[in-house]
Each structure stands twice: as structure tokens, then as C-alpha cells.
Amino acid sequence: MRPTVRLGRIAHIEIGLHWSVLAIMLLFTWSLADVTLPDLAPAYTTAVYWLAAAAAVVVLFSCLLAHEVAHSVVARRRGVPVDRITLWLLGGVSQLHGEAQTPADELHIAAAGPLTSLVLGAGFGVFAVAVASVGGPALAVATLGWLGALNVILAAFNLLPGAPLDGGRLLHARVWRRTGDRAAATASATRAGARVGYTLVGIGVAFVLLGDIAAVWFVLLGWFLVTAAHAEATAALLVGALANVRVRDVMTEHPVTVPIHTSVSALVEEWFMHHDCSAFPVVDERGSVAGLVTLAKVRSIDRSRWDRLDVADVADARATVAAARPDEAITALLERMSTAVGGAGRALVFDGDELVGIVSPRDVQRAVSLASLRSPGVAGRPDTNSVPA
């Protein structure tokens, strides 16, 4: 998941917010200011409730960030690079660039988040009791107690035994250690994640039918878990099928290029209409690759502008397109392709400075189809590489 807003870096890890965080923060603030805090600490003004609620929600998302930073710091100490942390609607995701090398590494990485949340929850609870014992404001006690409870709930929820939750990572580590089979561990964790998700959906639907509209959160969380578990299982099968495949085995060699100052009209008539390609590398006057122009990008432009625009005006810059070497694993390239801003899911392949190929989604799909014809023993045993809150 790519962040909508970048907040900066913590411990050299990029921190970002997805736009959905703003929606959930507003919902939490409204619920806290309008219902929860007035029930726990009556007799304050509406403005005070809203100020306390806004402050509490900001602190809560700081706690979510601490949960993710804990995952990331332990991951880096265990030799797994971390690309970024993104906070979103249902918590946060630490994007790990690689896999835990041993079950013990995975166990420590997965446990770090819930342990951090439990410590924070206990801390806020102790603080609330201390403020109450000295006769502090009831609103402060209620706010601190709410923060403590939410952190404990966050830890408990994440410890449910199913991928992609932290409890699913712990289950994966246990099965991996017991069997020595990473692929079997992934299958067990994703099946468990789907079961947990369906259970939450069922609980939510039952409570909604009984009149508790707030239980729709169980449905939302459950459906997220089911979807994420199935996606993780599919990704594991994909990476396993391509475990021994190199970029050179997949790429289309010696792709047709287009000069950077070609008009869009000429691009359509002389390139797209005459070649079975949906993208062309763009070269400058010196023959160096400057970017990639795609059919989808051209189709988004009004036809009346085609004669006035050059390829340079519509191409994705080279820096935004995933790049690869012919001898590297296709699985490593797939990670970069999934996060690249430009190229619409394609990658340029270079041998030194020379462009030698291009990898498209169609090329990857063909490689997967061919891999499915091989014997089951050829597939690798990959693991997932993201840790949600």
C-alpha cells in the first residue's frame, strides 16, 4: 500500500498516511466526543469534549505508529530491510523488503508490535489510575482509560491466530519451526486467517440483525481479513511458482523504442497500430532511455491534442519505472513493479546501460502459466513480506 501523505522518517524508515486514516480519525473523534467521553465524564462543555477527543485520537494513531515502528526496528535488527510504514483505515502496515530467515526471527518481528501495544495500554491504564487517585479531572481519567483500553484491544485483536495479523505470523513461525516447511506454514496461517475473518463477519452480521449497528465494524474487519488472507495465499503461490525464474526467462527481448520528440499522433499511427505492444521505451537524441509510454496513457488524452503533444509530454520518466538486470530473480523484480509509480506494471531491463528487454504483466502471466506445468517440487517456499498492525 502506497501512502497518500508522507510524514517524514523515523529511524530512517519512511512514514506515510493513507487517505483513509483521515476518515477513521474523524469518525473516532466524533464517536469519542459525542458518546464515549460524555458518558464516562459528564458535565463538560461540547467544545472541551471535542478538544479532548481530537487529542486522544492523535495519540491513538501515534500508538499505532509505535506498534509498527516496533515491528520495523526488530525486523532491521534481524537483517530484514524495511521500506516504509503506512498508517491506514484499519491500522498500519510495515513494508518489509525481504523475509525472515528463521522461525525465531519471524517470531520476534511479529511479537514486537502486540508487546508494544500491551506496554502502552498498561502505561495509560496506570496513568489513569494515578490521575484518579489524586483527584484529577474526570475527563482526563476517562481519556487516559480509553487510550489504555484501545491499546490492549489492538494487541488482543492482532494476536488472533490468522494471517495477515501478528497472531498469524506467530502461527506461521510455530508451524515453520515444527515442520521445517515454510510453504506449509504459509498455507496454515492463511487458512486460519480466512477462518478468523469469516467468524468475525458472522458475529458482526448477527449483532447487526439484533440491532447493534456498531457491529458493522466486525463485518468490515472480518472481510478485510478474509480478503487479505486469500491475497496472501495467492501471492505465496505466485512467488513459489516463480522462485527459480530469472528476468531473462520472462522478458521480451530487444523491445521497439520510440524517439522522445515523436508526436502522439505519429506514435499511435506508426507504433501502436503497427506493433503488438501496449508500451514502448522512449529514447532521447543520444539513444539513451528516457522513459516509457503506454497505450493506457495515450488513451486518456483527448484526440484533439495528439498533434500538439510529443511523446515527451505523456511518457513516464525512467526514474518512475521499475528496472531490472537480466540475471536477477523475477520475484525480486515483482516487488519493485508493484510499488513503482510509473510504467503501469511494467519494467525495463538493462545490461549495464544497454536496454535489452521489457517485462509486462502479460510476460509475467505467461511465466506463471508455464511454471504451473512444472512438477510441484520445483516451486519455492516463500513467505509474506508485510506486517500489518
Q: Report the catalytic residues.
A: 68
Rounded to whole angstroms, the Cα distance separating 319 from 335 reads 16
Are the C-beta atoms of 100 and 109 separated by less than 8 Å? yes
DSSP states of 316-357 as a string? Answer: EEGGGSEEE-TTSBHHHHHHHHHH-SSSSS-EEEEETTEEEE
Are the C-beta atoms of 111 and 42 separated by less than 8 Å? no
Q: What cell numbers appear for 306 in the block?
A: 495528439
Residue 379: which of 188, 129, 186, 231 has the closest Cα? 186
| CB atoms near residue 322 (< 10 Å) | 22
> Rounded to the nearest 10 degrees, what angle do helices 361-371 and 330-339 cross at?
140
Strands 91-96 and 82-88: antiparallel
Rounded to whole angstroms, the Cα distance separating 186 from 176 reads 8
Rounded to whole angstroms, the Cα distance separating 271 from 261 reads 14
